[in-house]
Amino acid sequence: MGKIGSSNTAQETLVRKLNAFAFIIGLVTALAIPTLYFGVSYEEEREHLNATTKAVASTLTEITFQYPEMWRFLDDRLIAILQRTRIRLEHVSKIEIFDGKGDIVVESGTLDQSATFSASAEFGDPATPLGRVFISIDATSTVIGTALAAVLGLTLGAGMFLVLRIYPLKALLAANTEIKELNDFLEIRVEERTAALRMTQSELVRQERLATIGQLTATVSHELWNPLNAIRLSMDPIADATRELNLGLDETVARIERSISRCDNIIGEMLDFTRETRVNFEPTNLDEWLSCLLDEQVKPVGVVLHRDLAAAATPYIDRERLRRAVINIIDNAVQAVQGTDDHSEKIVTVSTKFNAGHVEIAVIDNGTGISENDRKKMFEPLFSTKSFGVGLGLTVVEKILNEHSGEIKVTSTVGEGTQFVLRIPLHPPGKGKN
């Protein structure tokens, strides 16, 4: 099945795009801050410089009107006169005044020409100006401020780059982790659903097979029942005649009667497998009922039957149906221990207990055990490891447990023994708690 989310190539492409985006944002931030600072500072300095230059030119125009010929000789006194005016000269580093011929008249201050802002303006009559004033200001503070802004811009730019690079990558890694968890969860759910679907399909196939076997079994049983009845009825006068005539065939007649009885049992088992039975649930003291059932059983020679009845519960059961299932399991356990070494003790234990709203009937033997391969097929119709019977016993037991909304569990070890547990709810569907 396909994975949710991007492939590795798509993720690598996304990471490259995030890195590029973070780099661009960081670079823009690093360049924008010093550029904005320099631009704003330059405009402020330029406006101040232009205003100062115009003010000085206007003042010089007034002085030249008052001293038409003397203004050339004022020199530093001219600067002193300018300083007494309202003109802001604190940021001015150098003032140069030229006459109309271009000769310098006044020069005040010195300045490194590599870091200056300069401006000029004419003074005197606008039609025939007397000269031009040049004013320069020191731009060192602006340059230093711009450098500091550049450092700040680089710092913020680097921070923006790291933030935009790290946090999206963290988010991407978290998303990838979540996607992986979702993928794992989805795979588990798909596997569970697939397993459930396979089980359902297997159960449907099994039910279809059971239906087919049931139809065949019903037909065969019906066809055998009438001839078997005829044989049974015919054997009665034959048995009487052999005894009256003392023909010495008593053992032979007994063997025939046992075979007829066995065939009766087989046909009854087949009919029970195919017959739709209406279950008659009755509240039953399980321990007392099972104790009476065990008392009725004929104990084979050499087989010890232990009982440990401790359920102390009254479940709703169909007594006759469940009786059939328990006897079948006990018979299997007896046959299993009889197949072991004659020198070993042959024990069958029947116990009951109450467990989480259910009663459990356990039949344990120390017989030959059941192989794993046989355990997988033991509830299939017509499967049997015995030399007699048709292999419907455990299938009927499972059917009876299903009728009680219960289940049957089997654990076995070859050479050590087997345990069957019949688990039945205290209150089957349709029966509420008292």
Dist CA 83 CA 348 (whole Å): 128
pLDDT at residue 216, rounded to an integer: 67
Dist CA 99 CA 90 (whole Å): 25
pLDDT at position 419 over 90: yes
pLDDT at position 308 over 90: yes
Distance from CA of residue 327 to its chain's centroid?
47
Dist CA 402 CA 248 (whole Å): 50
Range scoring the smallest mean pLDDT among 25-34, 38-47, 150-159, 381-390: 381-390
What does pTM read for this prediction?
0.48
Q: 105 vs 133, which has greater pLDDT?
A: 133
pLDDT at position 128 over 50: yes
Dist CA 117 CA 98 (whole Å): 18
Give residue limits of the domains in the chain. Answer: 8-144, 280-425
Give the model confidence (pLDDT) of 155-199 as tens digits: 877 777 777 667 666 666 777 778 888 888 888 888 888 888 888
Give the model confidence (pLDDT) of 342-362 as tens digits: 667 889 999 999 998 899 999
Range scoring the smallest mean pLDDT among 67-76, 224-233, 283-292, 422-431: 67-76
Percent of the chain with pLDDT over 90: 16
Range scoring the smallest mean pLDDT among 3-7, 60-64, 264-268: 3-7
pLDDT at residue 98, rounded to an integer: 81
Percent of the chain with pLDDT over 70: 78
Dist CA 389 CA 265 (whole Å): 9
- Cβ 259 vs Cβ 267: under 8 Å: no
pLDDT at residue 429, rounded to an integer: 64
pLDDT at residue 4, rounded to an integer: 45
Angle of helix 319-338 relative to helix 393-403, nearest 10 degrees?
150
Q: 187 vs 211, which has greater pLDDT?
A: 187
pLDDT at position 5 over 60: no
pLDDT at position 86 over 50: yes
pLDDT at residue 28, rounded to an integer: 81
pLDDT at position 322 over 60: yes
Q: Which of 158, 429, 418, 232 shows the shortest CA–CA distance to 316? A: 429
CB contact set of 264 (below 8 Å; sequence gap of 6+): 228, 232
Rg of the chain's alpha carbons, rounded to an integer?
A: 56
- Cβ 146 vs Cβ 37: under 8 Å: yes
pLDDT at residue 79, rounded to an integer: 64
Give the model confidence (pLDDT) of 213-249 as tens digits: 666 666 766 677 778 778 878 888 888 888 888 877 8
Dist CA 276 CA 210 (whole Å): 13
pLDDT at residue 384, rounded to an integer: 73
Dist CA 91 CA 81 (whole Å): 17
pLDDT at residue 83, rounded to an integer: 64
Q: 85 vs 132, which has greater pLDDT?
A: 132
pLDDT at residue 291, rounded to an integer: 93
Q: For tokens 């500072």, what's the residue?
A: 41
Main-chain phi, psi angles of 88, to 5 degrees: -80, 110
Give the model confidence (pLDDT) of 353-408 as tens digits: 999 889 999 999 998 888 888 888 887 777 777 656 667 778 888 888 988 999 99
pLDDT at position 314 over 60: yes
Return mean pLDDT, the chain: 79
Element containing residue 94 per DSSP (H, E): strand 92-99
Main-chain phi, psi angles of 391, to 5 degrees: 80, 35
Dist CA 139 CA 301 (whole Å): 123
When pLDDT is cut at 50, 70 and 90, the band that residue 89 belongs to is: low
Residue 188: other Cβ atoms inside 10 A: 10
Instruction: Tell the CATH superfamily of the 280-425 domain.
Output: Histidine kinase-like ATPase, C-terminal domain (3.30.565.10)
Confirm or reject CATH 3.30.450.20 for domain 8-144, answering yes or no: yes
Q: Which of 91, 106, 97 shows the shortest CA–CA distance to 137? A: 91
